[in-house]
Chain A
């Protein structure tokens, strides 16, 4: 059993090979390659316009690369190129084995339906049909993300920013995905709310052994959550390595600038 798990963990879940994307004459992303393993958290850092969001969209199959490939090891153990997946297969992947946490929760939630339905919807999409079980599971997840279950029937538009973000996380994790993409998940939140969210993310990621690709411009977020970092500038990966190595011993001029720009706590 243990050996089986070790074997499983020894094969990458997501592989990017020489990914590039151009918009007209502008090269937004150039020649990015890496492999992500189960349970591994990879942070993509860099300033606005460095190509990190373009990369995230290509990795999650929302944008077709101009060159290169993204492949994913499906639950049946077979690794497939994302471009060979049909639209229905891709959507199914997104509803089950993948999550996507947007910076703006309004993009990832349905703001007018109840919190319970927001979480339950993902379960129904994978074939759950017992109302009582769906509601129990939704309520369970609200508790895990520290939302008072008394608010289960309220729509997220009545929630605070921090609560919305936690609800979005619950909605994403309820189907037990193996891979979650996150785009500046703590972006629009004030500092105290950020700390709580990061802490929650950190424990959920460890508990569920999630693989995560997180885009952030905040090095503190990268330090707290990620195992590995890729630093991007001008569409290229300029430095990559273990998170504490890159942040404590940065080599590239741009990385040194980023690290030295952090205000001391």
Chain B
């Protein structure tokens, strides 16, 4: 089977110039693959570098060395060395990212926030909104809120809008950073279902999940991040 994500010997260090140039090693020697239809969960204590690895795979953090191989439109592209426009292309058609918090855009209605990733990939506004509505409905966001911008919603509601936005597209890779953190049991179950559906569609996923029960329900394989601890 051909991997969707191939991380090889990736390394990340922060140099804090404002603190006298302190070097803050984050991770090194990060190596793992993710196949289609598989959900890999990154485990390890807070500060071990789980989120950093996710951000490196998304091209949000740069790597000092190593390789982030992503299967994009049939070819492998190394995000660690890709040009900005290539990274944007990969994000548009290959990698989706569900962050912990919704970065709300003022004035845009919830249904459009959710529909946007489909619209940029050429789906008609009406179809995209219809699919956004279905997902919002499944995630128990009442219809009367759909036309409002999510900025004023509660933390849990924003999180669900964020999840809807992340799961709406048909991208072959999904990165999930604590998708169930502020959700109640009913909505956590919906997320578990959504992940299972993505697996059946062959989507490759990397997730950070602290909740043991959820982790147990969605994971195919656990990658222990402490083994990538960078030598201080």
Q: Do A and B come from one complex?
A: yes
CA distance A31 to B184 in the complex (A): 55
Q: For residues 189 through 203 of chain A, which have their beta carbon under 8 Å from a beta carbon of chain B?
A: 195-196, 199, 202
B62 within 8 A of partner (CB): yes
A89 within 8 A of partner (CB): no
**Do the beta carbons of A242 and B87 come within 8 Å of each other?**
yes
B interface residues, how many (CB within 8 angstroms) = 19
Within 8 Å by CB of A242, from B14, B16, B88, lies B88
Contacts of A199 in B (CB 8 A): 105-108
Q: Which of B84, B106, B107, B120 has the most CB of A within 10 A?
A: B84
Contacts of B88 in A (CB 8 A): 227, 242
**Do the beta carbons of A242 and B18 come within 8 Å of each other?**
no
B61 within 8 A of partner (CB): yes
A248 within 8 A of partner (CB): yes
Q: For residues 201 through 216 of chain A, which have their beta carbon under 8 Å from a beta carbon of chain B?
A: 202, 206
Contacts of B59 in A (CB 8 A): 242, 245
Contacts of B61 in A (CB 8 A): 245, 248-249
Contacts of A260 in B (CB 8 A): 18
**Do the beta carbons of A256 and B17 come within 8 Å of each other?**
yes
CA distance A244 to B59 in the complex (A): 9
CA distance A224 to B60 in the complex (A): 15
Q: For residues 229 through 265 of chain A, which have their beta carbon under 8 Å from a beta carbon of chain B?
A: 241-242, 244-245, 248-249, 251-253, 256-257, 260
B147 within 8 A of partner (CB): no
Contacts of A227 in B (CB 8 A): 84-85, 88
Q: Can you list, as one digit per residue, whether each of A9-47 has a CB less than 8 Å from chain B (1) or not (0)? A: 000000000000000000000000000010010000000
A102 within 8 A of partner (CB): no
The answer to whether residues A253 and B105 also contact, given A37-B85, A40-B85, A227-B84 and a CB cut-off of 8 A, is no
A261 nearest in chain B by CB position? B18
Q: For residues 2 through 55 of chain B, which have their beta carbon under 8 Å from a beta carbon of chain A?
A: 14-18, 55
CA distance A249 to B60 in the complex (A): 8
CA distance A171 to B3 in the complex (A): 50
Within 8 Å by CB of A248, from B18, B55, B84, lies B55
A196 nearest in chain B by CB position? B107
**Do the beta carbons of B107 and A228 come within 8 Å of each other?**
no
Among all A-B residue pairs, the 7 with the closest Cβ atoms: A253-B17, A242-B84, A249-B61, A199-B107, A228-B84, A256-B17, A195-B106
Cross-chain pairs A/B with CB under 8 angstroms, 8 sampled: A199-B107, A227-B85, A228-B84, A248-B55, A249-B55, A251-B15, A253-B18, A257-B18
